[in-house]
Amino acid sequence: MIVHSGIVSLRHKVMAAGLLVMVLGLPISTLVGMLAAECNDRIELMHSRALEIARERTLIDAAPDLRRRTAALRRELAASHSYYTDPTTEEASASLAAGLKSIIEINHAQVRSLTIRPGTQLDHVDRLSVELDLAMRDSQLGNFIHAMQAYHPYIFVRHLTISPAPIYGAENQLLIHLDVTALRR
């Protein structure tokens, strides 16, 4: 019987040890799993921050070159006659209107109305605006548009309406409404 009680006793000890491992092992394995997930999240966050730092370092390293290139582009733009350089916005608007009138006269069009609108500030430049109503023959339209495209300083057509003239006997006559802008430095 002693041998039998030793086996029972050993069996009880093994079962008790197994129960102890289950009772303690389950929370510990859960805790280890949660800690591993937290570590993985932190490692991923550190990796993404390292990538951000690398991108920012690249931008910081490129800054002097970008400044040089920006300055060169500004000098090139200033020399390219892309902008009106009149001392005031009003004088630049008058220059724009005079330039438009010369394009209109060269293309044998008739000015029905010309309105100079007040200039507006746009970043570091002034935007000039002129509204025109013209009458011209349809055969002159292509040359007129080409002259507008080739003109310096640049002229930007923001709105264009072309319609046939409703006047009796005005065959091949067009009415043109233009909203034109240009820039002044």
**Is 94 found in the same domain as 73?**
no
Give the residue from 80, 110, 136 where a domain finishes.
Answer: 80
What pLDDT is recorded for position 1?
44
**At which of 42, 58, 80 does a domain end?**
80
- 3-state secondary structure string, the chain? CHHHHHHHHHHHHHHHHHHHHHHHHHHHHHHHHHHHHHHHHHHHHHHHHHHHHHHHHHHHHHHHHHHHHHHHHHHHHHHCCCCECCCCHHHHHHHHHHHHHHHHHHCCCEEEEEEEEEEEEECCEEEEEEEEEEEEEHHHHHHHHHHHHHCCCCCEEEEEEEEECCCCCCCCEEEEEEEEEEEEC
pLDDT in tens, the chain (185 residues): 444 555 668 778 888 888 877 777 777 778 888 888 888 889 999 999 999 999 999 988 988 998 998 888 877 766 667 788 888 889 999 999 999 999 999 999 999 999 999 988 887 888 999 999 999 988 899 999 999 888 888 899 999 999 988 776 667 889 999 999 998 88
**Are residues 180 and 130 in contact, defined by beta-carbon separation less than 8 angstroms?**
yes
In terms of domains, do 161 and 95 share one? yes
Task: Enter the tokens of residue 9.
Answer: 């006793």
Nearest residue to 132 via CA among 105, 160, 156: 160
For the stretch 113-124, pLDDT in tens is 999 999 888 878
Pair (69, 134) in one structural domain: no
Same structural domain, 122 and 41:
no
Per the structure, the complete domain to which residue 126 belongs is given by: 89-184
Helix axes 89-106, 141-150, angle to 10 degrees: 140
Q: Which pTM was predicted? A: 0.56
- The CATH number assigned to the domain holding 108 equals 3.30.70.60
pLDDT of residue 5: 55
Q: What is the distance between the terminal CA atoms of the chain, rounded to a whole angstrom?
A: 111
Single-letter residue type at 105: E
Number of domains in the chain: 2
137-147 b/e with 16+ CB inside 10 Å = b?
Answer: beebeeebeeb
Examine the domain organization and report whether 117 and 150 are in the same domain: yes
CA distance 84 to 98: 12
- Give me the pLDDT at residue 122, please: 80
Cβ atoms of 116 and 153 closer than 8 Å: no
Which residues is 113 bridged to in the sheet?
A: 133
> Does residue 66 share a domain with residue 127?
no
Last residue of a domain, one of 27, 47, 80: 80
Residues 72 and 93 grouped into a single domain: no
Same domain, 104 and 164: yes
